């Protein structure tokens, strides 16, 4: 298997497993805590935090563990000058693998819990949800590429997992922040689902959020030298006794 095929396999499998974690834990949460939506969200978000961090560690060395077309597109844009990112055709291939994986993951989660695979009826299209997805995606893209551009990619797994876990709670949309995951979640009419009619608004918000995230990265970390241009701060001072 050539290099691109391996990377596409990693992206497809990774996105499938991510959606499987999100949808499967959502179904389990509904069954375990049927009368407490807050507890359902807590169970769903904790599973996603640990699942996403683990998948990044598992597949990051193969494909970069994007699992997200917005991240892949940002990788292409930010890497154009130094040739470090994906090519545009690779972005398209990544996005296709991610979307197929997302749908497959939702179907597998439904099968594991004996839930019929039907289109979701959960309408999430509203102004607050749109804004929430812009914020969630902008933060995710800014986090990932600030780590990459400052030589801290090794901590991406816990950092990204923690951010998404937090964003479940501080955004009204529960932070999809991912077009492929959004499409996948259409295929489960459960706690984690999203109605097909809500998808265009969510994807548009995620695209806008990705643009905002890229602008933030370029403003805060204009080079990839590993150190941003900034004034000295307390974090630069030696600890007492050292």
- Site of tokens 């959004």: 182
The tens digit of pLDDT for each residue in 121-171 reads: 999 999 999 999 999 999 999 999 999 999 999 999 999 999 999 999 999
Q: Which of 64, 76, 79, 73 is nearest to 95 (CA)?
A: 73
pLDDT at residue number 16: 98
User: How far is residue 55's CA from residue 104's CA, in Å, rounded to a whole number?
Assistant: 16
Percent of residues, the chain, with pLDDT higher than 90: 89
List the chain domain ranges.
Answer: 3-226
User: How far is residue 50's CA from residue 91's CA, in Å, rounded to a whole number?
Assistant: 26
Asked whether 192 and 26 are in contact (CB, 8 A), the reply is yes
Average per-residue pLDDT in the chain?
Answer: 93
pLDDT at residue number 227: 52
3-state secondary structure 179-195: HHHHHHHCCCCCCCCCC
Q: Which of 125, 106, 129 is nearest to 189 (CA)?
A: 106
Confidence of residue 2 (pLDDT cuts 50, 70, 90): confident
Asked whether 122 and 195 are in contact (CB, 8 A), the reply is yes
The tens digit of pLDDT for each residue in 65-116 reads: 999 999 999 999 999 878 889 999 999 999 999 999 999 999 999 999 999 9
pLDDT at residue number 238: 43
CATH code reported for the domain at 3-226: 1.20.1080.10
């Amino acid at each position: 298997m050539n290099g691109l095929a391996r990377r596409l396999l990693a992206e497809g499998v990774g996105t499938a497993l991510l959606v499987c974690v999100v949808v499967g834990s959502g179904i389990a949460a509904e069954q375990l805590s049927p009368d407490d939506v807050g507890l359902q969200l807590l169970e769903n978000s904790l599973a996603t935090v640990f699942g996403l961090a683990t998948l990044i560690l598992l597949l990051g060395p193969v494909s970069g563990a994007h699992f997200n077309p917005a991240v892949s597109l940002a990788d292409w844009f930010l890497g154009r000058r130094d040739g470090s990112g994906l090519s545009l055709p690779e972005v398209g291939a990544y996005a296709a693998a991610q979307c197929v994986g997302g749908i497959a993951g939702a179907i597998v989660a439904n099968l594991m819990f004996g839930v019929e695979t039907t289109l979701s009826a959960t309408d999430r299209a509203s102004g607050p949800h749109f804004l929430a997805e812009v914020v969630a995606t902008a933060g995710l893209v800014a986090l990932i590429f600030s780590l990459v551009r400052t030589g801290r990619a090794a901590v991406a797994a816990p950092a990204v997992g923690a951010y998404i876990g937090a964003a479940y709670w501080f955004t009204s949309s529960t932070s999809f922040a991912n077009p492929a995951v959004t499409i996948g979640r259409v295929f489960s009419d459960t706690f984690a689902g999203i109605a097909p009619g809500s998808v265009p608004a969510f994807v548009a918000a995620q695209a806008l959020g990705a643009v905002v995230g890229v602008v933030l990265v370029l403003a805060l970390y204009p080079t990839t030298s590993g150190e941003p241009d900034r004034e000295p701060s307390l974090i630069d001072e030696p600890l007492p006794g050292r």
